[in-house]
Amino acid sequence: MPEGLEAEIYRRSAVACVGRTIEAVQVDDMQPEAIEIRASLPGSTVTSVGRHGKLVLVELHTEGIVPGTIPSVVHRNGGDLTLGLHFGMTGRLIIDGAAAIDRLEYGSNRDDPAWNRLIITFVGGQVLRVNDPRRWARFTMEPDDERLGPDVLSLTRADLAVGTAKRQRALKAVLLDQTVIAGFGNLCVDEVLWHASLDPRRPAGGLSSRELGRLWRTTIAELPAMLGRGGSHTGTINPALRASGGPCPRRSCCGHLQRGEVGGRTTIWCPSHQR
């Protein structure tokens, strides 16, 4: 499932498209902005690829597009455009026939042409595709990423303190709120809270200064490590362990993992050392 880590892997893969000019676009008719995307993108050139949380941002320069062919879109970068790619639960990014991630956990590794929701063909024949069996990926022109919280991979202790302060919702629910911290997903939150020895059910605003510091240090250490290993499924609390349960994998802990629902999401934690 694409979390912030997977979106960063997709961003790095999409950097190969910088400098390319778009020749043609095919987009799923179920997309709310399908008409705008088809009309706006051809003729534009990719200038950079960024990311905010789970959202990949493809920046496009529009010089050379025939006047009057672009619909009324509010451009946040002057005369240029931004295409936002959100991959839902099972969307995969494929650049020039190579998948940035071979297989998503809880998704399919099939590359069925019927699942192509976006196809961008560049001058020269190179192709960017988003392939999504569940049709939950979303593509938007000029996405409003200002509503998102600070990015999880550049999170500061102050960001975390502000995001959790005075909030009575469960800690896990607050961390999953993309307006609080952008990029955290279910697997990464369970992993970080397990390492930080924090119960996901605790009120977020009840953390002590010491606990808040521990949570922040764990986040900035564990997430880059998981990114380096290939994504959100590579933690200690990995999909296989989530499915099997059993004893807590922490050496100094004699407890057993517990499965439940916190913040509307399936959650795995160890009541023995996560408090």
pTM of the shown model: 0.92
What pLDDT shows up at residue 262? 97
Q: What is the mean pLDDT of the chain?
A: 92
Q: Does residue 1 surpass a pLDDT of 90?
A: no
- The pLDDT confidence band at residue 2, using thresholds 50, 70 and 90, is confident
Rounded Cα gap, residues 44 and 21, in angstroms: 6
For tokens 């990311």, name the residue.
51
Rounded Cα gap, residues 29 and 157, in angstroms: 43
Sign, Cα dihedral of 110, 113, 115, 116: positive
Cα 124 versus chain centre, distance? 30
Q: Does residue 28 surpass a pLDDT of 60?
A: yes
- CA nearest to 21, candidates 45, 47, 49: 45
Rounded Cα gap, residues 145 and 263, in angstroms: 23
What pLDDT shows up at residue 107? 59
Which tens digits make up the pLDDT trace of 75-107? Answer: 445 458 999 999 998 999 999 999 999 777 655
What pLDDT shows up at residue 67? 40
Q: Which residues fall within 8 angstroms of residue 239, CB to CB, at 6 or more apart? A: 105, 106, 187, 233
Q: Does residue 160 surpass a pLDDT of 60?
A: yes
Mean pLDDT of 238-266: 94
Mean pLDDT of 209-237: 97
Which tens digits make up the pLDDT trace of 207-216? Answer: 999 999 999 9
Helices assigned H by DSSP within the chain: 4-14, 34-40, 157-164, 171-176, 186-195, 209-229, 239-244
Q: Does residue 25 surpass a pLDDT of 80?
A: yes
Which tens digits make up the pLDDT trace of 125-158? Answer: 999 999 999 999 999 999 999 999 999 999 999 9
- The answer to whether 99 and 111 are in contact (CB under 8 A) is yes
Q: Does residue 202 surpass a pLDDT of 70?
A: yes
Rounded Cα gap, residues 92 and 2, in angstroms: 8
